[in-house]
Structure 1
Amino acid sequence: MGTSSPRMLFGAAYYTEYQPYERLAQDLDLMAEAGFSVIRVGESVWSTWEPREGQFALDWLQPVLDAAQERGIKAIIGTPTYAVPPWLRRKYPETAARSGTGQPIPYGMRQDADYSHPAFRHLAERLVRKIVGRYADHPAVIGWQVDNEPGLRIFHNDSVFQGFLDHLRDRYGDVETLNRRWGLTYWSHRLQDWADLWTPDGNSTPSYDLAWRRYQSQLTQEYITWHAELVRGLVPEHHFVTTCVALGQQGLDISAIGKPLDVAGANIYYATQDGLALPGSDEPEGGLYPFFVAWSGPAWLYLQNDMARGIRQEPFLVMETNATSIGGSADNFPLYRGQARQAVWSMVARGARMIEYWHWHSLHYGAETYWGGILGHSLEPGRTYDELSAIAGEFKQAGSAIEGLRPRSDVAMLLSADSRWAMEFMAPLRGNTPAWFGDPQSYDRIVAAFYRGLFDAGLSVDIVSPEQLPSSPEELVERWPVLVVPALYIADDATLDLLRRHAKAGGHLVLTPRTGYADEEAVARHTVMPGVLRPATGVRYQEFTNVLTPVTVTQGDGTSYGPALHGHATAWADGLIAEGATVLAGYDHAHLGQFAAVTTHEYGDGRVTYVGTVPDRELSRSLADWIAAVSVPSDAWREDRPPSVTCTSATTADGAVLRFVHNWAWDPVGYRLPGDVRDLFTGERFAAGTALELGSWDVRLFIEREGDSPLDRTPAATTVPTAPISPSPSPRRTP
Structure 2
Amino acid sequence: MQVGVDYYPEHWDPALWAQDALAMKSAGISLVRLAEFAWSRLEPTEGRFDFTWLDEAISLFHAQNIKVVIGTPTAAPPRWLVEQYPDVLPVNHQQQRVYPGVRCHRCYNSPSLRQCAQRIIEQLTQHYADHPAVIGWQTDNEIVANDCHCEHCRRAFTTWLQRKYGALSNLNHQWGTVVWSGEYGSWSQVTTPLGGSPYQNPSLLLDFCRFTSDSAADFNRFQAELIRQYCPDHFITHNLWGYPVVGDYYDLFASMDFAAVDYYPSTDLQHDEKANIYHGALTLDLTRGVKRRNFWVMEQLSGTPGCWHPMSRAPFPGMIRAYAWQSISRGADVVVNFRWRTARVGAEQFWHGLLDHHGHPGRRLREFSQFSQEVARLAEVIDGTQLHNDVAILFSHQQLNAFTVQPQCDGFNYFNNVKQLHRVLVQQGIGIDVINWLERIDDYKIVIAPYLFLENATVVATLERFVTAGGIVVLTTRSGVKHDNNVCQPDDLPGLLSRLAGVRVAEYDPVGHDRQQIRLGAEMVGCSQWCDIVEPTTATILGCYASDYFSGQAAVTVNAFGKGQVYYIGTVLDDRGYQRFFAPIIRACAIEFCPDLPRDVELSIRSDQDKRVLFVLNLSKENKTVALTEYSRYDAFTGEPVAGELLLAPFDVRILIEPRQ
Query: TM-score, with normalisation over the residues of structure 2?
Result: 0.95
| Residue 700 (1) aligns with residue 654 (2) | yes
**How much has 1:399 moved relative to structure 2?**
2.5
For CA contacts below 8 A with separation 6 or more, give which structure has more relative contact order.
1
1:552 CA displacement = 4.7
Aligned-pair CA distance for 1:196: 2.4
* Aligned mates of 2:217, 2:367 — CA distance in 1: 38
Establish whether residue 649 from structure 1 lines up as the match of residue 598 from structure 2: no
Return the letter of the residue paired with 2:455.
A
1:292 alignment partner, one of 253, 277, 281: 277
Match of 2:451 in 1: 487
1:222 aligns with 2:218: yes
Identify if the C-alpha distance between structure 1 residues 492 and 549 changes in structure 2 by more than 3 Å, giving closer, same or farther.
closer
- Asked if residue 580 in structure 1 is aligned to residue 551 in structure 2, the reply is no
Change (3 A) 1:235 1:21: closer
Match of 1:233 among 223, 229, 249: 229
Tell me which of 635, 640, 644 is aligned to 1:684.
640
Q: Distance in 2 between matches of 1:255 and 1:565?
A: 40
CA distance in 2, matches of 1:88, 1:550: 54
Q: In terms of mean alpha carbon deviation, does 545-554 or 204-213 score higher?
A: 545-554
The correspondence for 2:101, drawn from 92, 104, 108, is: 108
Tell me which of 116, 134, 139 is aligned to 1:141.
Answer: 134
Per-residue CA distance 1:565-609 (angstroms, 9 max, x = gap): 653102111122233322222222121314322222222111111
Aligned pairs (5 A) from 1:150-549:
150-202=143-195, 204-237=200-233, 239-248=234-243, 250-275=245-270, 288-290=273-275, 292-293=277-278, 300-328=279-307, 330-431=310-411, 442-467=413-438, 469-470=439-440, 476-477=441-442, 479-549=443-513
Preserved contact between residue 32 and residue 71 of structure 1 (Cα < 8 Å) = yes
Once the two structures are TM-superposed, the CA of residue 644 in structure 1 deviates from its matched residue by 4.4
Supply the AA of the counterpart residue of 2:273. L
The one of 555, 558, 562 equivalent to 1:597 is 555
- Measure the CA separation in 2 of the matches of 1:376 and 1:304: 27
Mapped partners of 2:332, 2:524: distance in 1: 36
Within 5 Å, give how 1:48-87 maps onto structure 2.
Answer: 48-87=41-80
Aligned pair in 2 of structure 1 residues 31, 544: CA closer, same or farther (>3 Å)? same
The structure-2 alpha-carbon separation of the partners of 1:327 and 1:429, relative to structure 1 and needing over 3 Å to count, comes to farther
Q: Secondary structure at the match of 1:541?
A: strand
Q: For residues 235 and 248 of structure 1, what CA distance do their matches in structure 2 show?
A: 31
Please state how far the C-alpha of 1:273 moved relative to its aligned partner. 4.1
Which amino acid is 1:586 matched to?
C
- What runs of 5+ residues in structure 2 fail to find an aligned partner? none
Question: For residues 57 and 437 of structure 2, what CA distance do their matches in structure 1 show?
Answer: 43
Q: Is the 2:519–2:546 contact (alpha carbons within 8 Å) kept by the matching residues of 1? A: no
The one of 636, 659, 684 aligned to 2:614: 659
| Secondary structure in 1 matching 2:32 | strand
Shift of 1:496: 1.9
Aligned 8 A contact 1:137 1:236 in 2:
no
* RMSD of aligned residue pairs (Cα, Å): 1.9
1:335–1:622 Cα change, 3 Å: farther
1:244–1:265 contact (8 Å) kept in structure 2: yes
Partner AA of 2:277 in structure 1: F
Cα contact 1:553–1:597 (8 A) shared by 2: no
Does structure 1 residue 615 correspond to structure 2 residue 573?
A: yes
Distance 1:702 1:550, change over 3 A: farther
Note the C-alpha offset of 1:555. Answer: 2.6
Distance 1:320 1:460 in 2: 24
CA distance in 2, matches of 1:466, 1:664: 30
8 Å Cα contact 1:497/1:533 also seen in 2? no
| CA-CA distance at 1:291 after TM superposition | 5.3
Could you tell me how far apart the structure 2 residues matched to 1:554 and 1:520 are? 32
Alignment partner, residue 26 of structure 2: 33
Match of 2:583 among 607, 625, 633: 625
Contact 2:428/2:596 (<8 A) preserved: no
Asked if 2 retains the 8 angstrom alpha-carbon contact of 1:484 and 1:509, the reply is yes
Give ranges in structure 1 of 5+ residues lacking alignment: 1-7, 276-284, 294-299, 432-438, 471-475, 559-563, 709-735
Residue type matched to 1:190 in 2? E
1:101 to 1:254, Cα distance in 2 relative to 1, 3 A: same
- In structure 1, what residue type is equivalent to 2:216? T
Secondary structure of the 1:500 match is helix
Q: Cα–Cα, structure 1 residues 429 and 445, in superposed 2: closer, same or farther, change >3 Å? A: farther
Q: Structure 1 residues 623 and 342, CA, compared in 2 at 3 Å: closer, same or farther?
A: farther
1:118–1:251 Cα change, 3 Å: farther
- Displacement of 1:290: 3.3
State the Cα distance separating 1:29 from its structure 2 match. Answer: 1.4
Counterpart residue identity of residue 580, structure 1:
T
Q: Is the 2:424–2:575 Cα contact (8 Å) retained in structure 1?
A: yes
CA contact (8 A) 1:485 1:512 kept: yes
- Report if aligned partners of 1:638, 1:646 keep a CA contact under 8 Å in 2: no
1:29-75 C-alpha deviation (Å, 9 max, x unpaired):
11111101110000111111111122211110112111111111111
1:692 to 1:509, Cα distance in 2 relative to 1, 3 A: closer
Q: In 1, are the aligned partners of 2:427 and 2:601 still within 8 Å (CA)?
A: no
Distance 1:592 1:679 in 2: 54
Q: CA, structure 1 residues 366+542, in 2 after alignment: closer, same or farther (shift >3 Å)?
A: farther
Secondary structure of 2:269's counterpart equals: helix
Task: Tell me if the contact between 1:500 and 1:533 (Cα under 8 Å) persists in the aligned partners.
Answer: no
Report how far residue 697 of structure 1 moved. Answer: 1.4
Which whole-Å CA distance do the structure 2 matches of 1:251 and 1:669 have between them?
Answer: 38
- 1:111 Cα offset (Å): 0.7
**Does the 8 Å contact 1:551/1:588 carry over to 2?**
no
**Distance in 2 of aligned mates of 1:634 and 1:54:** 60
Assess if the C-alpha contact under 8 Å between 1:671 and 1:691 holds in 2.
Answer: yes
SS of the equivalent of 2:240 reads coil
Distance (whole Å) between structure 2 residues aligned to residue 48 and residue 643 of structure 1: 48
Rounded to whole Å, the distance in 2 between the matches of 1:522 and 1:516 is 11
Deviation of 1:198 after TM superposition, in Å, equals: 3.9
CA contact under 8 A between 1:506 and 1:605: conserved in structure 2? yes
Q: Is the 8 A contact 1:95 1:114 kept in 2?
A: yes
| Distance of 2:94 and 2:659 partners within structure 1 | 62
Structure 1 residues 198 and 116: alpha-carbon distance in aligned structure 2, compared to 1, 3 A threshold: closer
- Comparing 414-423 with 50-59, greater Cα deviation is found at 50-59
- The verdict on how the C-alpha distance between 1:134 and 1:21 changes in structure 2, with shifts beyond 3 A counting, is closer
Output the amino acid matched with 1:603: F
Equivalences, count: 656
> 1-side partners of 2:330 and 2:280: how far apart?
10
Q: TM-score, length-normalised on structure 1?
A: 0.86
Q: What is the percent sequence identity of the aligned residues?
A: 30
